[in-house]
Chain A
């Protein structure tokens, strides 16, 4: 917003709260309406679905945050990270290394592959400055072509594999469409991470609520400047307290909520670790460089920051986390859908982040987690809404697609519109 004389336009007061959070509000309303109109969805079913989807997707969505802060926008290119993750899984599955050790071997193998992919993607983004998002979208499609060539032809035709291996097509060339990952006890990867330790759902709610309450209260008291205790603060405290009461109540009375599926602790710890990483990295020199580059590349360059390198590091980090995220995703699914599993995750993860209230220039852990919850609520509810309103579950399915792309379009459009509105000049 710097014009020739270096004067800055006076920003008008922040636009209304509703407008800032319109995408989030649409999704909350949609979920609530869904509960009202559909009779088949029980609270337990909903919570079962939601928790498993949260632990499946959160890691992927969190991998999008660093590029946003480094000014690269929404990295649809996490698709190539997902491919790296799938390659690692395919290798580990081929040699039937199962269990926790197999899973961590996956993480280890995926790391260099994803880092290399991320490096190339970063180089491309540096060449397509200003169009990183489109470039990331296209690089995903392009990489998909190479991926298919690799899995459909190279495996078997060039890389010698055992043609009788259950992963390989009967012809001996190419990997099968779907590859079963087997449960851990049969030497596979299914639930390798999730089943390490599980606790009842309501216990998890209790722990998380206490934890969040502690953070809110502590961070509010910690500030040097007297921060006003806003209504939002009290609302958050109240919400946490209520959740604590509900969870304690159900634990004591052992009511129906205790029937909800148990929660995978180690997966949760991994997700929280990534959240903490995202927080901590921004407090380091590198994080400050991300922010500087994200705010103004020219100034960062003049100050001696290696802008290109910083952007590449951000892309590499994002791609590696996406690879790991895809591994977490697949061990939960239990099957590797060789040619389809990765194709949608770029769109879905970006949509999730946007639903949480992020934009192309701001994103946080909070946006990612809220986004995953709301976006997947919509996913769970839409078939039932379709059935209840139109008597056809399929219409709900169409509705999903509409919502995914609609929300991306709406969020991007609103962002541009808001930026323009902020810089519009008026008399008084």
Chain B
């Protein structure tokens, strides 16, 4: 037991009689990178909440089992105690204050102070801040991560990758940091940034810090971790050495059923040569996803994939055409010129949109499933409305009937159509979004990041659903995704976006190397035609 930094022994947790964690055992050694993986709802966050002494654990009756740090049993009741025990966390969503300098962010609530007369009387909180020492410490932490950035610049306006590193710098600056938890650290990073992060994580592990690495990306885990623990439905499935396992095996153990991202060749596809959507020199001002002049043509009945690294502008295309962000350029849809910057006209002309920002603009989280499904139709097409003279009332019966149909057809798992969408899991929320877009009867459907934040099992279902729509109704689909594998599994051709422009259009069967090169922008304008 001597070299185990962290021992989680037989930890169980109940929420109101509902067992969410059952006898979890995890050991983390010094300098070990321990990956933790599991579907959404497998219990990863509950486990981390226990480790950090979050109040949600203790207000619901605490947990069973023991946690040992350096062989000594501890009972962590607050995040502050966790910090004192040497546990740090790099959050998925950045915990940085934009108006503060990097130093201030790194040193937040751990400021170095000097005593003065007043503080001797009134206590530590009245001590003066020592910015010189704080800057020095911040510099040291940044140097450890090979960050050349100045510690006195403000965080606002820094690239996303830098912010992540500042988060890490803050954690390693904590004295006596023993265990560092990374919660989906690469979710918001581009590939190159993610690579840098992996390098930094390895370096930290070498310095003797135990690392718990939570990620959905299997290749990253294979790449960086020493051991992997798989959770499923609150149960500890297995802990394995990385060298004894493979991505396929981990994925299988995680979902407990066979998964394949194999390309399923559809049979009854109706594709024509007619061009349904033609985009010329489209520019979109979407923060972080600027589109700088894109031209594309989409044929009727086709599934077009749009891929590329995060921040290169692939998400901006759909958002621009649908009028969510200011845009400029010429878009011809079904032979008519589309008026840009007007979401209503875009929807009316027969374009459907399933946004990547499910919780932001995709759903009314506090409203029922049925209302969410009918909402756009009511607003735009006067659907589900009955006229009583000058008043329009919603037709609840129609809405219910339609919602039930959609729930059945898309297999939305819910207690009833009146359940609030905020309570649904990610995959089911996504299905509600799709159902709402379908209620418009769109001729062309934009789907952005349909599988973001959804576990592997649900991913497959969403993709199958898209394929089915295309087959059954001949719907043209433009799917934007960061996950190349998923684009390659259903798309007819894939446009790769780099620096706001189309880098090239590839066949899904093209070799990996072609995709990799295009995404990094190293094959300028070398267009490979799709052959399917």
Contact = CB atoms under 8 A, between A and B. Distances in A.
B348 interface: no
A4 B356 CA distance: 10
A304 B97 contact: no
Interface string B312-344: 000000000000011110000000000000000
A4 B358 CA distance: 10
Given A3-B360, A283-B128, A284-B127, A425 B93 contact: no
Contacts of B157: 8, 10-11
Interface stretch (B253-261, B282-290, B507-515): B282-290
Interface string B269-311: 0000000000000011111100000000000000000000011
A288 B93 contact: no
Interface residues of B, number: 45
Contact of A288 (B91, B104, B357): B104
Interface string A1-42: 111111111110000000000000000000000000000000
Interface stretch (B8-16, B107-115, B137-145, B521-529): B107-115
B125 interface: yes
Interface in B71-125: 78-80, 83, 91, 93-100, 104, 108-109, 111, 113, 119, 124-125
A7 B288 contact: yes
Nearest to A281: B126
Interface string B120-160: 00001111110000000000000000000000000011001
Interface in A273-332: 281, 283-289, 291-292, 295-296, 298-300, 302-305
Nearest to B359: A4
Contact of B188 (A5, A281, A304): A5
B163 interface: yes
A298 B104 CA distance: 16
Contacts of B109: 289, 292, 300, 303-305
B129 A7 contact: no
B160 A9 contact: no
Given A5-B188, A292-B109, A284 B128 contact: yes
B126 A303 contact: no
Interface of B is mostly: loop
A3 B78 CA distance: 28
B188 A292 contact: no
30 contacts: A2-B93, A2-B94, A3-B287, A5-B188, A7-B287, A7-B288, A8-B98, A8-B287, A10-B287, A283-B129, A284-B113, A284-B125, A284-B127, A284-B129, A285-B129, A288-B104, A292-B97, A295-B99, A299-B97, A302-B95, A303-B108, A303-B109, A304-B83, A304-B109, A425-B325, A426-B285, A426-B326, A427-B284, A427-B326, A427-B328
Q: Which 3 A/B pairs are nearest by Cβ-Cβ distance?
A: A7-B288, A303-B109, A304-B80
Given A11-B156, A284-B125, 20 more contacts: A3-B357, A4-B359, A7-B287, A8-B98, A8-B156, A8-B287, A283-B128, A287-B129, A289-B125, A292-B97, A292-B100, A292-B108, A295-B97, A298-B95, A303-B95, A305-B108, A426-B326, A427-B285, A427-B326, A427-B327
